[in-house]
Amino acid sequence: MCGFVGFFNEEDNQARNTEIVRAMSDRIYHRGPDQGDEYVDDCVSLGFRRLSIMDVEGGSQPITNEDGTKVLLFNGEIYDFQPLREELEKAGHVFKTHTDSEVLLHGYEEWGKGLLTRLRGMFAFVIWDRNKRELFGARDIFGIKPFFYFKKGKKFIFGSEIKSFLANPQFEKDLNVNRLPDYLCFEYIPTNETMFRNVYKVTPGTCFTVKDGKFTEERYFTPQYDIDEEKSVEYWADLIDSTFKASTKSHAFADVEVGCFLSSGVDSSFVVHEMAKQNKIKTFSVGYAEEKYSELAPAEEFAKHEGVPNFTKKITAEEYFGATPIIQYYMDEPLPNPSAIALYYLTGLAAEQVKAVLSGEGADELFGGYHYYREPLDFAKYMKVPQPIRNVLGGIASHLPAFHGRRFLMRGRYGIEKRYIRNNYVYNHSEVDGILKTPIPSKDPSFYTKKFFEEAGDVDDISKMQYVDMQTWLVQDILVKADRMSMANSLELRVPFMDKEMLAVALKIPAKYRITDKTTKYALRMAAEKNMPEKTSMMPKKGFLTPLNDWLKRDKFYGMVKEKFQGEVANRYFNQDAIMKLLDDHKAGKAHNMKKIWSIYCFILWYEKYFIETEDPTKTDPFAGRADRLRREQA
């Protein structure tokens, strides 16, 4: 695990380019406090920060091939590197480290971009070919590992985090204000653009080349459903069980101690159960003093059942609000998911004892864990009513006062492509203009999800919804907060559900074995039940609950948000009367506006960190992550 940075040189001054790439690397010190190094030639400058997980002594980067003509920067883990290495050694390649990283370098020499289809792991990497003067890069099929680039004219800067670009004089920092409406709707930008103009995300499952200033991107992997209706649910439960056992075993491989996150849910419990059979592990859980929002009790109970130690922390409201500004800095882009703060403290807790952890992210999207996936079942019979009749009934309902079934009739006018409104959408598209100080032309969220519904192909509505979530919510939100919050505390986070072979299984399971009228993740829960108590395997999904809704009604925290809502940044971008009404109505109990308030509040905090403050906040912020605190202490 690490972070990398790089750029095409604007001037032929090796000393100056080395200084710049080192400054860029320092901005992401938290991604790799164990080691840092650079490679600089007359064309490119490459920098690296390392968190040592495998081949602790000998796995430093950048890594070159035998004759020094190719240079590798790699962030992630390749779980099938050992058989790939054996194959490459038989082909004559000479390895100088014991890391999984070097497989990428020699694999690219041997197979070119064909290497990518052989990889089982999480990765973002670049290979610089000195002879061809060509940069090759790729990102894993899920988008577990981040990869950004800035491109304007001949300028090309890339790295694991956008904040590293701030140290490069070629970078032109500019707010991508046209994407603000998308952020308000989704809580992230649902395309490969970012909140910085001319900064882009490498799309998961793609590779690219840069040569002579030309950027060329190609998709090497697209998930495709291949649903098999013939097999029984018992068959799928057995296959999930065996595949997950193998995935967990490969994800546990490391030269350092690996722990596990543990909540009350089936996903993390399944991970802990498999890890506890293979290793002597530690587990980590967080909660709140407010017991109704805390999952610590069932987590501790399951840890005792498995015979593993469980380390816990209760987060206070003061800690929660105190860490939010620095968390928005670590995010790179504003991300107002309230669970991110809990995850930040959870990774900090784990980082005090281990260097790597396994977590349960991805199970909901692959195996059908969200309650709203049941909606197609609720609408199944109604969808057989002719469209014109549904249109009339929905139109009438929209003009009537509230009554039971009104929303059902209104939504029943539409097919799944338009009816798909995730429960985590923050603002409706129709609300955005009233929130912004100056309206910005924008598209309805369904515009962005439409292409993913089409990509999903001719499958049932539940499968389509899951596919869209895999391409949007999972990539842009769930995996972002998992990566940034773990790396903020210099902790490697591995996700065994986000595995190539697990995905292959998930894409074959019929929807009826994923979602039923009684439960979610049906087949996965059956697999878990073979191994764990029914109380755990059938635990309803709760999400990462927070007391934020209640805290925003307290005078102290209401005041903190009010100060920002009445401040300079809010005045620049938002209708201050409108956002203050959201805040006041929430405090008075007239409306539940927590997500809408938090979305704007987080944007303001993020904007202040990147566009108003000039210093690296990790040097002064008391809530900065573990690596940055250690660096300050050492200095």
- Please name which of 504, 540, 509 lies closest in space to residue 523, comparing C-alpha atoms: 509
DSSP string, 143-161: --S--EEEEETTEEEEESS
- Compute the distance between CA of residue 105 and CA of residue 147 in angstroms, rounded to an integer: 18
CA dihedral of residues 240, 246, 276, 470 (deg, nearest 10):
-60
Contact (CB, 8 A) for 200 and 192: yes
* End-to-end Cα spacing for the chain: 24
- Compute the distance between CA of residue 621 and CA of residue 178 in angstroms, rounded to an integer: 30
Residues composing the chain: 635
Assess whether 2 carries a catalytic annotation. Answer: yes
- Compute the distance between CA of residue 126 and CA of residue 33 in angstroms, rounded to an integer: 21
Q: Which of 2, 185, 207, 260 is catalytic?
A: 2
- Compute the distance between CA of residue 465 and CA of residue 376 in angstroms, rounded to an integer: 9
Task: Identify any residues that bridge with 174 across adjacent strands, giving them in sequence order.
Answer: none
Tokens of 139: 């990102």
At position 435, the amino acid (one-letter code) is I
- Compute the distance between CA of residue 267 and CA of residue 538 in angstroms, rounded to an integer: 11
DSSP string, 27-80: HTGGG-BTEEEEEE-SSEEEEEEE---SSTTT--SSEE-TTS-EEEEEEEEETT
At position 428, the amino acid (one-letter code) is N
- Please name which of 255, 434, 252 lies closest in space to residue 358, comparing C-alpha atoms: 252
Helix (H) or strand (E) holding 242: helix 233-251
Contact (CB, 8 A) for 485 and 30: no
Please, which residues have CB within 8 angstroms of residue 570's CB and are 6 or more apart in sequence? 564, 576, 579, 600, 604
Sign of CA dihedral 475, 477, 478, 483: positive
Contact (CB, 8 A) for 127 and 208: no
Catalytic residues: 2
